[in-house]
Structure 1
Amino acid sequence: MARFLLHRLGLFAATLLLASAVVFALLDLLPGNAAQVMLGESATPEAVRALEQKMGLDRPAPERYARWALGFVTGELGTSASYDAPIGELIAERLAVTLPLALLAMVLTTLVALAAGVYAAAHHGRPGDLVVMAASQLGLAVPGFWFGILLVLLFSVTLGWFPAGGFPGWTEDEGGGLWDGLQALLLPALALAAVQAAILARFTRSAVLEVLREDFVRTARAKGLAPRAVLWRHVLRNALVPIVTVMGLQFANLVTGTVVIENVFALPGLGRLVFQAIGNRDLPLVQALVMLLVAAVIGINLVVDLLYGAIDPRLRRAAT
């Protein structure tokens, strides 16, 4: 297990290093003057030179990359030009909204999709299967932001059960609380989870159907095990490897998908911060946010690889 873990961690570090070089090159080495872009065409040459010196743009590219990459390791990400605040503090503040939102959406996706997918597979070809497939097809066809608007119209405007937007905070000092924060995130989480649950339900159904045809399933049934025990304890576990792969990709999509949903619900998370940073032409903040999202996707893939080894030890031995 230790060898498998070290191997995966080494791949993670190498991938992260390569990704950081690509992000830095795309946003820092593109033709044009970053300081001029941030200040606008009307900026004076003196102001442009002063900003270049402040941001370190007058230094060689390798030195700037080394300082930038080291900043991610130490947490010193520099200062936002538009907010005049440390970038690390801005990101930490917005993560308190985005991360719970993505986790809540992933929980909803997993609960709904696994239950629907396993049910459809167990009732293959019957009305229950057709209902699940029709509902999942509808979920795939509806855009998340449009579904979010429908949720607001129904549950906020018409019924008044949930707030239409904004975030009160997690503590009473911020004007909210745990329950108020969860209420504010529930509709956005549902909007995020709709499409992902539809995808995962269809994939779970296919994976479970494939395992149901295996010989060990017939053996388990012949031993007199209850159908539910065979389905959930034996079939689902053997179908989990491909399902976990899709779940990892989906969680990465949920993290990046908050960029749109947070703007629909006016949530002060990373998604809105990305839009604001681009609108303010705050390139250091944009660079840090892009790298953070890339690192999140790579980190999620690492967790999925480790789950492979926990689910099926044969994969762990094969990888080493």
Structure 2
Amino acid sequence: MSIALFALRRLGRGVFTILFAVTVTFLLLRLLPGDPALAIASPNMTDETRAALLTQYGLDQPLIVQYVLYLGQLIQGNLGTSFTQSIPVADVLLQRLPWTLLLTLSALVLTIVIGVPLGVIAASHKNRFLDKLVQVFGVTGQSLFVPSIGIVLLFVFGLNLRWFPIGGAYDEGVYGLEWYGSVLSHLVLPVVSLTLIQLGSYVLTMRATLIDALGEDYTTLAKAKGVPGRTILWKHAVRNAMLPATTLIGLQLGFLVGGAVLTETVFAYPGIGRGIYEAVTQLDFPVLQGAFLLLAATVVVANLLTDIAYGFLDPRVKTA
């Protein structure tokens, strides 16, 4: 099977996944307690004005009609208008998207940069002190909860030591290089929090797959031929161990997106996650629908790219 056909089949599955996510999101939001009309209608409005607003946003229509109208808007590339901000949802999301990308991609890169060496150290020192230490770290990381670790980091490094800011994305009134420094200082605690949550599972996966790779026949044969142990480890074993680790990267992006919602809420970071929290409290359906659609599409695209990368790394996947 060619890479193009392989990618096309994965893309088709991704489209159905996004449609399913859109449908579930649309229905679940309508089950939230409260009246979304309160977000757009003032108590001082006349009944006629309130009815006109509800008609404008389609909230006076039956649920199935609202769903069909929503799908029609999506096909045209229209995500709707925010109830509370009265601006296009696309503009709301574009204002917040760069901050979420900065946070999640920084955490993902940091997870890989730290996770691969830790996994290699654990596997190459199997059942020894360093291995057991890494395993304890990995299991502990898997058991952490985003708000818990975030609050601890805020209390220790933000409130007590005052090493880092406790909220926001940058300081007001700063420009140039000082602004970039402010952005980095505000980014540290959210990134560390999100990285710690993901790092444990990545390290343990890397360790397990590398131990399996070191026990394969090709590594035994390489040892018999006198190939140096470092060459066997990095050139052969690590390369093959990266296959399942690559898949985990795609899967972890979904967890990173979910973790970003909680992380941004704890640190008052102005990304899409924080926007979702604010939209829930305001019952701003269009913003919530647009945000969940964007997050679902991000996860689907990430998994598609992961599948394609896996197909390049392991040709057996294409012919499976």
TM-score (norm 2): 0.87
Please give the alpha-carbon distance, in whole angstroms, between the structure 2 residues aligned to 1:15 and 1:268. 28
Closer, same or farther in 2 for the Cα pair 1:125/1:14, shift >3 Å? same
SS of the residue 1:177 aligns to: helix
Report the equivalent of 2:125.
Answer: 123
Please give the alpha-carbon distance, in whole angstroms, between the structure 1 residues aligned to 2:267 and 2:149. 12
Please give the alpha-carbon distance, in whole angstroms, between the structure 1 residues aligned to 2:171 and 2:227. 49
Report the equivalent of 2:201.
Answer: 199
- How far apart are 1:268 and its partner, in Å? 1.0
Alignment partner of 1:210 is 2:212: yes
Q: Deviations over 1:247-282 (max 9, x none)?
A: 212111111211111121111111111111111111
- How far apart are 1:307 and its partner, in Å? 1.6
Amino acid at match of 2:144: V
- How far apart are 1:19 and its partner, in Å? 2.9
Query: What stretches of structure 2 of length at least 5 have no aligned partner?
Result: none
Please give the alpha-carbon distance, in whole angstroms, between the structure 1 residues aligned to 2:71 and 2:269. 29
- Native 8 Å contact 1:87 1:285 kept in 2: yes
Report the equivalent of 2:261.
Answer: 259
Please give the alpha-carbon distance, in whole angstroms, between the structure 2 residues aligned to 1:64 and 1:280. 19
SS of the residue 1:317 aligns to: coil
- Native 8 Å contact 2:36 2:284 kept in 1: no
- Native 8 Å contact 1:102 1:258 kept in 2: yes
- Native 8 Å contact 2:144 2:197 kept in 1: yes
Please give the alpha-carbon distance, in whole angstroms, between the structure 1 residues aligned to 2:244 and 2:199. 15
Closer, same or farther in 2 for the Cα pair 1:62/1:175, shift >3 Å? farther
- How far apart are 1:123 and its partner, in Å? 0.4
Please give the alpha-carbon distance, in whole angstroms, between the structure 1 residues aligned to 2:173 and 2:227. 49
Closer, same or farther in 2 for the Cα pair 1:266/1:19, shift >3 Å? closer
Pick the aligned partner of 1:17 from 16, 19, 22.
19
Alignment partner of 1:231 is 2:220: no
Pick the aligned partner of 1:308 from 307, 310, 318.
310
- Native 8 Å contact 2:97 2:272 kept in 1: yes
- How far apart are 1:225 and its partner, in Å? 2.4
RMSD over equivalenced CA pairs, Å = 2.9
- How far apart are 1:176 and its partner, in Å? 5.9
- Native 8 Å contact 1:118 1:205 kept in 2: yes
- Native 8 Å contact 1:169 1:176 kept in 2: no
- How far apart are 1:296 and its partner, in Å? 2.0
Alignment partner of 1:92 is 2:91: no
Please give the alpha-carbon distance, in whole angstroms, between the structure 2 residues aligned to 1:172 and 1:222. 62
Amino acid at match of 1:117: G
Alignment partner of 1:273 is 2:275: yes
Which range moved further: 116-125 or 309-318? 309-318
Report the equivalent of 1:136.
Answer: 138
Aligned residues: 317
Identity %: 36
- Native 8 Å contact 2:41 2:53 kept in 1: no
Report the equivalent of 1:107.
Answer: 109
Closer, same or farther in 2 for the Cα pair 1:171/1:246, shift >3 Å? farther
Query: What stretches of structure 1 of length at least 5 have no aligned partner?
Result: none
- Native 8 Å contact 1:56 1:64 kept in 2: yes
- Native 8 Å contact 2:7 2:304 kept in 1: no
SS of the residue 1:267 aligns to: coil
Closer, same or farther in 2 for the Cα pair 1:316/1:133, shift >3 Å? same
- Native 8 Å contact 2:36 2:283 kept in 1: no
Please give the alpha-carbon distance, in whole angstroms, between the structure 2 residues aligned to 1:38 and 1:149. 31
Please give the alpha-carbon distance, in whole angstroms, between the structure 1 residues aligned to 2:214 and 2:243. 15
Please give the alpha-carbon distance, in whole angstroms, between the structure 2 residues aligned to 1:81 and 1:214. 59
Q: Deviations over 1:65-115 (max 9, x none)?
A: 455335445542121111122211111111111111001111111122211
Amino acid at match of 2:84: S
Closer, same or farther in 2 for the Cα pair 1:136/1:75, shift >3 Å? same
TM-score (norm 1): 0.87
Amino acid at match of 2:184: L
Please give the alpha-carbon distance, in whole angstroms, between the structure 2 residues aligned to 1:174 and 1:47. 47
- Native 8 Å contact 1:170 1:176 kept in 2: no
